[in-house]
């Protein structure tokens, strides 16, 4: 199962930079990321890395609250309505998405959606039913 690294961060100048510095030192590449703040002075950073285990280890060693969370990454056709088609299937399955982010993969002419949801196994089935493909771990980490 693919994993992302989630990091607890204070919402303050320089804090994100410290994270990227840790990753850079370990030569870890960021494939995609999202940063969401809260009204309370902190936020959560989600990172799709080429080596999630090493990245997680490096961040924990540097003192961060960081965890590995299971995700699923789905390939979508890069055209209007591509995301909508996928979501139509997921909502039929009553999937509640906790967090999601998308990025383009120009060399494939496709877009990908990273999904963090409670019932990952069900999501995998629904993706298949929708006629879409899921990226393998290998593909994700070498986007």
Partner 1 sequence: MSLYWQKDLETMPRAELEAYQLKKLKASMVQAARSPFYGKVFREKNINPENLHSIQDITSLPLTTKEDLRGNFPYGFLTVPKNEIVRMHCTSGTTGNPTMIFYNRHDLESWSNLVARCLFAIGAREDDVFQNICGYGLFTGGLGFQDGAEKLGATTIPSAAGNSVRQIMLMRTLGTTVIHTIPSYLTRLYEVFVEQGLDPRRDTKLRLFAIGSEPHTEEQRRRIEEMFGVRAFNSFGMTEMNGPGVAFECECQYGMHVWEDAYIAEILDPDTLEPVPDGEMGELVMTTIDREAMPIIRYRTRDLTRFLPGECPCGRTHRRLDRFAGRTDDMFIIKGCNVFPMQIEKILMRFPEVSTDYQIVLDTVQGVDEMQIKVEFNRDFFTGEREVLETLHHKLRSAVRDEVLVTPKVQIVEPGALPRAEGKAVRVRDLREAKKGA
46 binds partner 1 per the rule CB under 8 A: yes
- Rule CB under 8 A: choose which of 24, 25, 65, 121 binds partner 1: 65
Q: Which of residues 91-130 bind partner 1 (CB under 8 A)?
A: 98, 116
**Residues contacting 123, CB < 8 A, separation 6+:** 72, 90, 93, 95, 115, 117
Residue 22 binds partner 1, judged by CB under 8 A: no
Cβ distance 48 to 30 under 8 Å?
A: yes
Q: Is 69 in the site for partner 1 (CB under 8 A)?
A: yes
> Which one of 9-17, 24-32, 76-84, 104-112 is the stretch in contact with partner 1 (CB under 8 A)?
9-17
How far apart, in whole angstroms, are the C-alpha atoms of residue 20 and residue 9?
12
Contact 56, 4 (CB under 8 A): no
CB-nearer residue toward partner 1: 6 or 140: 6
The helix (H) or strand (E) run that includes residue 137 is helix 137-141
Report the interface residues with partner 1, using CB under 8 A.
6, 8-10, 15, 36, 38, 40-42, 44, 46, 60, 63-67, 69, 98, 116
């Amino acid at each position: 199962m693919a994993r992302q690294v989630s990091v607890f961060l204070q919402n303050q100048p320089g804090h994100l930079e410290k994270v990227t510095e840790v990753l850079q030192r370990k030569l870890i590449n960021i494939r995609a990321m999202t940063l969401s703040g809260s009204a309370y002075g902190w936020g959560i950073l989600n990172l799709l890395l080429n080596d999630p285990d090493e990245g997680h280890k490096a961040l924990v060693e540097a003192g961060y609250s960081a965890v590995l969370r299971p995700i699923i990454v789905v390939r979508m056709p890069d055209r209007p309505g591509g995301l909508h088609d996928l979501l139509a299937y997921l909502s039929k399955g009553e999937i509640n998405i906790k967090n999601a982010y998308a990025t383009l993969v120009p060399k494939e002419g496709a877009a990908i959606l990273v999904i963090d949801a409670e019932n990952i196994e069900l999501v995998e089935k629904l993706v298949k039913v929708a006629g879409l493909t899921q990226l393998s771990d290998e593909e994700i980490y070498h986007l």
